[in-house]
Amino acid sequence: MNDVIYNLTIGDPVNLFWVGLGTMLGILVGAIPGLTGAMLIALTLPLTYAMQPTEAMVLLVSMYVGSISGGLITATLLRMPGTPASVITTLDGYPMARDGKPGRALGLGIMSSFVGGLISWGFLILLAKPISHISTELGDFDYFALVLVALVLIASVSGKSLAAGIFSGLFGILVTIPGESPATGVTRATLGIEQLNGGFDLLPVLIGLFAVSQVIHEVAQKGGAVEQVSKVRPEGILLGAKDWVAHLVNMVRSSVIGTWVGILPGIGANVGSVMAYSAAKSMSKQPEAFGTGSEEGVVASEAANNATIGGALIPLVAMGIPGSVIDAILLGALILHGLQPGVLLFQNNPDVVYTIIFTMLIANIAMFGMMVLSAKWISRLATIPRHYLLPVVIVFCVVGSYALNNRMFDVWVMLAFGVVGFVMERNKIPLAPFVIGFVLAPIAEEKLGAGLQASSGSYLELVQRPVALTFVLISVVLVVWPIYKSLTKSRSITEDGDGQAEQAEQAEQEDNS
């Protein structure tokens, strides 16, 4: 149809140049902890005033694709998620790299990012128009129940000790309490500190937990055995057809989850990767490998976070509703260039709509090429001696946390959570449940609050609405199932086996201290 003509717009050399530039900058910024894609795009936006609207959108969407993907390099090799979207990738990517398979870990991540992007692109072009009718049907209680499902998944990502996982998740929720109540806007529990009125910002907390705690650990380690990330040069980034086939089911499933999460407003790429990761774990034949370098974990996380891009673009182009922070900025860009998203945009400016859609496809291909070619080069970061690397990383953390809101308070928060993360790691408390609780609790609270305000305090709708009821039932099953499983398991395993597991754990504890 006419689509082909619009396809040609993107084939324009100028546009291709913007795709290349945008994707590359996105990857670099995504790879640097503290600099996010949202920041890059927001700060590039004023520079696009002089450009054609289509060119501006090409540049910005390419940055979006690059920045969500770039985070996986540092997440895998340095355990520093360059963006919140790649937090979950650290859980398995880093152990893989440490065990001498950095190239393979990167290759899997890049491959699944590419596939995730492609699959969600398919959804984007198919669903952009019809989807608008479905998403508005979901009410507050439906949303709340949906988030509830994700929250109870904490239990399934808690690793060896369920008690430690639950504590970690609840602690993450507790940290969201100070600041503005998401449900009422009332300020609470700030202990009189005015700077805390907005609560703890996501980025400083995550940079602290994942990057700073790691830096503390690395700096302090000089006495004991040096835990180098990996001295092995990353080989085999380009995977064979066998690997593509082996991970196909997981990639498709994670991409679909990611796309779906992306469509829902307010939930970003990080939640998509969390949900896909949990799903992959519960369906895996080797769930115990998750968190220790599972290939499936890397694939699930990276396929899903890239898939959220296509998902989030659906409501943006279809209705002008942003699915994430970055999409909100893209929406601002469209309006600045005099374009109103919505049904009218499809009628009056199909060139813009299809340029956005095809940019995502081409930027994905560009991302794949660039990452495969440059990952080796970027991964050499991992072989730099620590006395070069760590000062640079910690300064990036400081500057990145500061630049977020232009205030020192965020930098202090970052340092404090660096210490918290360090202490938690030493006590074998997993970090992933903390992050899930921290990210999801405010959404759950806001939706529950809005629902209760509208129903004047009645919870009845939670079981009256079919969608809400379905999700509530799923979460009940998710709570009961692991308990049931662990009960039957402990009955079948002899005391001997139990003792062995304990001994192994203790041995590991000794190793670490």
Partner 1 sequence: MSNDSTSKSTTRLLIRGGMWLTVLMAMIWYALDTGSNDANSGYPNRPITLIVPFGPGGESDTFARMIQRTIAENQFLDQEIVVKNVGGAGATIGSGQARKAEPDGYTMLILHEALITAQVSGKVSYGPESFEPIAASGKTNMVIAVAEDSPYQTLQELMQAAKETPNELVFAANLGAPVHYAGLILEKELPGAHFVYTQKGGGASRFEAVIGGHVDVSAFSLGEYVSFKDGGLRAIAISSEVRHPEAMEIPTAKEQGFNFVHANMHFWWFPKGTEQSKIDFMANVIRKCMATPQVHSQLATRLSEPFIETGQPMKDVLKDRIGKIQSVDASSPDVLPNIPLWVSVATALSFVYWLLSKKRNADPSGVPKQPEENDVISGRYLQTAGLFVGVTSLYLLALEYLPIDFRILTSIYMLDVAVLCYGLSQKQFKRLILDSYVPDMVILFPLVVFFVFQSFFSIQLP
| The Cα angle at residue 35 between residues 29 and 39, in degrees rounded to 5 | 95
Establish if 46 lies at the interface with partner 1 (CB under 8 A): yes
Q: In the complex, what is the shortest distance from the CB of residue 303 to partner 1, in angstroms, rounded to a whole number?
A: 27
Half-sphere exposure at residue 458, Cβ-oriented, CA atoms within 13 angstroms: 7
In 3D space, the residue among 42, 1, 40 whose CA is nearest the CA of residue 22 turns out to be: 40
Establish if 219 lies at the interface with partner 1 (CB under 8 A): yes
Stretch near partner 1 under the rule CB under 8 A, chosen from 70-78, 133-141, 247-255, 473-481: 133-141
Q: Which of 2, 4, 13, 185 touches partner 1 (CB under 8 A)?
A: 185
- Name which of residues 437 to 466 contact partner 1 (CB under 8 A): 441, 445-446, 448-450, 452-454, 456-457
CB of 234 or CB of 451, closer to partner 1: 451
Whether residue 263 contacts residue 77, with contact meaning beta carbons closer than 8 Å, is answered with no
Establish if 197 lies at the interface with partner 1 (CB under 8 A): yes
Whether residue 237 contacts residue 76, with contact meaning beta carbons closer than 8 Å, is answered with no
Establish if 344 lies at the interface with partner 1 (CB under 8 A): yes
Establish if 483 lies at the interface with partner 1 (CB under 8 A): no
Which residues are CB-contacts of 336 (< 8 A; sequence separation ≥ 6)? Answer: 45, 49
Q: Which of 8, 14, 126, 163 touches partner 1 (CB under 8 A)?
A: 163
CB of 35 or CB of 106, closer to partner 1: 35
Q: In the complex, what is the shortest distance from the CB of residue 430 to partner 1, in angstroms, rounded to a whole number?
A: 11
| The Cα angle at residue 293 between residues 248 and 284, in degrees rounded to 5 | 45
CB of 24 or CB of 110, closer to partner 1: 24
CB of 244 or CB of 388, closer to partner 1: 388
- Name which of residues 374 to 413 contact partner 1 (CB under 8 A): 386-388, 390-392, 394-396, 398-399, 402-403, 405-408, 411-412
Establish if 222 lies at the interface with partner 1 (CB under 8 A): yes
Give the DSSP letter of residue 210. Answer: I
Establish if 192 lies at the interface with partner 1 (CB under 8 A): no
Size of the site for partner 1 (CB under 8 A): 111
CB of 174 or CB of 365, closer to partner 1: 174
The whole-angstrom separation of Cα 38 and Cα 63 is 9
Q: In the complex, what is the shortest distance from the CB of residue 451 to partner 1, in angstroms, rounded to a whole number?
A: 8
Stretch near partner 1 under the rule CB under 8 A, chosen from 85-93, 304-312, 315-323, 466-474: 315-323
Phi, psi angles (nearest 5°) of residue 349:
-125, 55
| The Cα angle at residue 252 between residues 108 and 135, in degrees rounded to 5 | 125
Stretch near partner 1 under the rule CB under 8 A, chosen from 92-100, 165-173, 299-307, 479-487: 165-173
Phi, psi angles (nearest 5°) of residue 180:
-75, 130
Q: In the complex, what is the shortest distance from the CB of residue 9 to partner 1, in angstroms, rounded to a whole number?
A: 23
Establish if 93 lies at the interface with partner 1 (CB under 8 A): no
Establish if 164 lies at the interface with partner 1 (CB under 8 A): yes
Phi, psi angles (nearest 5°) of residue 130:
-65, -25
In 3D space, the residue among 312, 240, 308 whose CA is nearest the CA of residue 274 turns out to be: 308
Give the DSSP letter of residue 79. Answer: S
Stretch near partner 1 under the rule CB under 8 A, chosen from 67-75, 108-116, 187-195, 272-280: 187-195
* Segment (H or E) for 349: none
Here the tokens at position 174 are 């507790």
Stretch near partner 1 under the rule CB under 8 A, chosen from 68-76, 244-252, 352-360, 497-505: 497-505
Establish if 469 lies at the interface with partner 1 (CB under 8 A): no
Q: In the complex, what is the shortest distance from the CB of residue 503 to partner 1, in angstroms, rounded to a whole number?
A: 7
User: Do you know the residue count of the chain?
Assistant: 513
Establish if 208 lies at the interface with partner 1 (CB under 8 A): no
The whole-angstrom separation of Cα 40 and Cα 48 is 12
Establish if 418 lies at the interface with partner 1 (CB under 8 A): yes
| The Cα angle at residue 356 between residues 352 and 361, in degrees rounded to 5 | 145
Establish if 487 lies at the interface with partner 1 (CB under 8 A): no
In 3D space, the residue among 150, 213, 172, 199 whose CA is nearest the CA of residue 435 turns out to be: 172
For residues 471-481, b (16+ Cβ closer than 10 Å) or e, as one string? bbeebeebeee
Here the tokens at position 361 are 């496809």
Here the tokens at position 291 are 């968190």
The whole-angstrom separation of Cα 227 and Cα 224 is 9
Establish if 493 lies at the interface with partner 1 (CB under 8 A): no
The whole-angstrom separation of Cα 318 and Cα 346 is 8
Q: In the complex, what is the shortest distance from the CB of residue 136 to partner 1, in angstroms, rounded to a whole number?
A: 4
Stretch near partner 1 under the rule CB under 8 A, chosen from 78-86, 229-237, 331-339, 366-374: 331-339
Q: Which of 220, 373, 463, 477 touches partner 1 (CB under 8 A)?
A: 220
The whole-angstrom separation of Cα 164 and Cα 428 is 8
One character per residue 3-42, x = contact with partner 1 (rule: CB under 8 A): ------------------------------------x--x
